[in-house]
Chains A and B, each alone.
Chain A
Amino acid sequence: MFKFLLDTDTWQEIYSSIRKNKMRTAITVVGVMWGIFLLVVLLGAAKGVENNFNRLFGDFATNSVFVWAQQTSKPFKGFQEGKGLTLKMSDLESIRNEIKGLEFVVPRHQTQALTVNKFKTGNFGVFGDYPEFDKVQKRNLVYGRFINDNDIKEKKKVCVIEEEIYKQLFDKDEYPIGQYIKINDINYNVVGMYKEGQIGSGGPQGNIHIPFTTFQQVYNRGDSVGWMMITGQPGFDITQIESDVKLLLKNLHNVHPKDNRAFGSFNLGKEIAKVTGFITGMQFLTWFVGIATLIAGVFAIGNILLITVKERTKEIGIRRALGAKPWEIKRQIIMESVFLTTIAGALGIIFGGFILMIIDATLGKGDEPVLTNPTVDIPVILIAALTLVVLGTLIGLIPAQTAVSIRPIEALREE
């Protein structure tokens, strides 16, 4: 078989047989090419969407839930409905002690504040944060550091700013670390600058982070907590944690257990699962459409070979009269099929890759790209290519069988 593949005659015959039906062969090859092209481009695009999604949400711990206090909607234990609720630091302690499977419970405060640096001003979101926040929602620091334990302990007037804020408050190429900016007329030393991912958790212009304890003191918040972020350990169901936490809070704050409006929450894991589910569905659809198109294309190749075999009946008869064994005729036809599908597949993959490059260059660039790195994994390509060769072989069996089922005497009969 190996010798057969290296034989010039093998390729000469494949070439001459293809040459006889240039137009038809070309159209058929385009059919298969289209199939694998679609597969590559769609999978690449789906991957690009997935990558983009991961890039946007990559900063978040995906098994996290945000919880904040609202107002009660049911009277309970002598309290009327509409009682205002506020989370307290002690609530966090209780949550940490009583609920299993927690990784971090991070309290936060937030406000809007006028921020001034010399003659430049801006209104930005100001957050009071613990160092743990960096672990729940990763800050990509460009300069300096995030808030540390010492800042918390000593209630230091330090801040970490987002790149966008830096651009608005500082001159170009100015080094922000060590400089002071005024937030609500109080000077803060800039200790870090980070770059926000696509989806910010605060205002549209990015955030300023100051130590949580500083925030409490400066804005007179006592031991209250604006809201909290809770992350679960791997293997624990975040949805379960969410309802456990809320139930515990209702208990602590004298809220009716069935009062669903008292505490608000946003389960990031659930939201992300929806999107990843959608992406998975899209990939499935891509495979389905791609493979179906491939099969259609391969059938077209089977069809054209069947026609070619009919046209070559006489030639096949001559070969058999000269001593060609049925298997030798068969493998010739199968080789043609495999050759055509392989060429078509290779062209489709190359063409698909090329289109992905164009997509990447147009949709994947800029500040808010639609796609990120639209690529297809090599194993996927190999699977697709292997599928093609297998399908090509199988479909080639049909014309090959036809070719040998015509007895040489019938093939040679004078017209």
Chain B
Amino acid sequence: MIKIEKLHKSYPIGKDSLHVLKGLDLHIKEGEFVAIMGSSGSGKSTLLNIVGLLDAHDSGNYYLNGQLIENLDERKAAILRNKFLGFVFQSFNLINYKNALENVALPLYYSGMGRKERNEIAMQYLEKVGLADWATHLPSELSGGQKQRVAIARALVTKPKVVLADEPTGALDSSTSHSVMELLKEINREGMTVFVITHEEDIAEETDRIVRLKDGVIISDEKTLKKSKV
């Protein structure tokens, strides 16, 4: 599903450039539940941005759903993001003047779906994350956990190939974190590829595979014990 070969990325900082990703090789198959771990500055956010088509890589190859990603302009990137990728952010990134249902329906709006149809689909996904009763509430009227559930529903609503979650529990307390992770696991069990970035060990433990990054290179890539126990 996601295949990365010798990926390099550096950022210019003044006259110098900061080499962030130093030749990554990573292959994530369909239906995997992967956590990328690393301390800040390890390059995990950069990796997510490249995988999420929010940023372009310098060299190396990136295949998304078998398609080589190169020379993307903003328009093509936007279409691919809409079609293949669902985003879950640490700070939820809901649009604060739209209610839960409208937030979930937004990606469908950009894929060109009619209002009635997209609201129906959005409602199904809100039900799926257990927030059907909150459909007309604004984000400011929802708790952190609820907001993240809305964000997850929004990430899923276009039936993407991959869900990219950037520190999805970073702003949540541990019990809510756990329930959000349970939701992600459930989605994964239904066959969705889920790609989580975290620096919390116990969150990473709940996934199937942990890839550890340090200073722009992969230092370990292993299946979690928990999975083998089950």
Contacts and interface: CB of A to CB of B under 8 A. Distances in A.
A321 B115 contact: no
A326 interface: yes
Nearest to A7: B115
A240 interface: no
A328 interface: yes
Given A9-B109, A315-B95, A325 B54 contact: no
B90 A322 contact: no
A254 to B, nearest CB: 93
A314 interface: yes
A386 B220 CA distance: 64
Nearest to A405: B74
A412 B89 contact: yes
A325 B93 contact: no
A308 to B, nearest CB: 13
A318 B115 CA distance: 20
Contact of A324 (B55, B110, B158): B110
Most chain-B CB neighbours within 10 Å: which of A19, A326, A408?
A408
B154 interface: yes
Interface string A52-94: 0000000000000000000000000000000000000000000
Contacts of A19: 97
A398 B55 CA distance: 24
A273 interface: no
B128 to A, nearest CB: 18
A324 B78 contact: yes
Nearest to B83: A323
A8 B107 CA distance: 16
Nearest to B78: A325
A319 interface: yes
Chain B contact residues (Cβ within 8 angstroms of A): what range? 20 to 34
B229 interface: no
Interface string A104-139: 000000000000000000000000000000000000
B82 interface: yes
Contacts of A314: 93
A326 B78 contact: yes
B100 to A, nearest CB: 15
Contacts of B168: none
B110 A322 contact: yes
Contacts of A323: 78-79, 81-83, 107, 110-111, 158
A320 B154 CA distance: 14
Given A8-B115, A323-B107, A414-B90, A409 B81 contact: no
Interface string B9-34: 00000000000000000000000000
B78 A320 contact: yes
Interface string A167-200: 0000000000000000000000000000000000
Nearest to A323: B82
Nearest to A314: B93
Contacts of A326: 74-75, 78
Nearest to B110: A323
B110 A409 contact: no
Contacts of B107: 322-323
A412 B55 contact: no
B54 A409 contact: yes
A153 B106 CA distance: 93
A318 B111 contact: no
A407 B79 CA distance: 15
A354 interface: no
Contact of B54 (A20, A315, A404, A408): A408
B52 interface: yes
B169 to A, nearest CB: 14
A176 to B, nearest CB: 76
B49 interface: yes
A48 B109 CA distance: 52
A278 interface: no
Contacts of A407: 54-55
Interface string B52-82: 1011000000000000000000110011011
B45 to A, nearest CB: 9
Nearest to B54: A409
A85 B2 CA distance: 112
Interface in A185-229: none
B87 interface: yes
B177 interface: no
Contacts of B52: 321
Interface in A373-415: 404, 407-409, 412, 414
A24 B52 CA distance: 37
A200 to B, nearest CB: 69
B153 to A, nearest CB: 12
B74 A404 contact: yes
A403 B52 CA distance: 20
A236 interface: no
Contacts of A325: 74-75, 78-79, 110
Contacts of B74: 320, 325-326, 404
Contact of A322 (B49, B91, B97, B154): B154
Interface in A306-321: 314-315, 318-321
B18 to A, nearest CB: 15
B148 to A, nearest CB: 14
Contact of B91 (A9, A327, A414): A414
A314 B90 CA distance: 14
Contacts of A327: 75
A16 interface: yes
Contacts of B79: 323, 325
B54 A319 contact: no
9 contacts: A20-B97, A318-B94, A320-B81, A323-B78, A323-B83, A323-B107, A323-B110, A326-B75, A404-B74
Interface of B: 49, 52, 54-55, 74-75, 78-79, 81-83, 87, 89-91, 93-95, 97-98, 106-107, 109-111, 115, 154, 158
